[in-house]
Amino acid sequence: FFTKDILQGKEINIYKTPEGKEVARDFTYIDDVVKGCLGALDTAQKSTGSGGKKRGPAQLRIYNLGNTSPVPVGRLVGILEGLVGVKANKHVITMPRNGDVPYTHANVT
């Protein structure tokens, strides 16, 4: 929604932590997630694992999909500004102490 709001000149909220640090998120391209899901489906019946408890089909295996490098939300907005050629109307606010977390990213280990 950031891109649409930037193009329409709407104000976008950019959160900072109560300590004043930038909030960061794990942004993963949707096509990569779709390819990962399809790849997991394709290998579910074929996979035999590496032995021991993992020997046999992989229908019940866990596949971690994601990006392990969180990106500050302000940096994402800056990239979008450059791509669309429009300066965002940013409203920087402090996130509440309870609720959302300041940093998220996938753990694919």
Over residues 30-82, the pLDDT tens digits come to 898 899 888 877 776 665 555 556 555 555 667 778 878 889 999 999 999 99
Bridge-based pairing state of the strands 89-94 and 11-16: parallel
Residue 103: pLDDT band by 50, 70, 90 thresholds?
A: confident
SS3 72: strand
pTM above 0.75, yes or no: no
Confidence grade of residue 4 (pLDDT, cut at 50, 70, 90) = very high
Q: Which amino acid, one-letter code, is at 12?
A: I
Phi/psi at 71 (nearest 5 deg)? -115, 130
Assess contact for 72 and 104: CB atoms under 8 A: no
Separation CA 2–CA 22 (nearest Å): 17
Between CA 70 and CA 58 the distance in angstroms is 29
Q: 24: which strand partners?
A: 72, 103
pLDDT of res. 58? 57
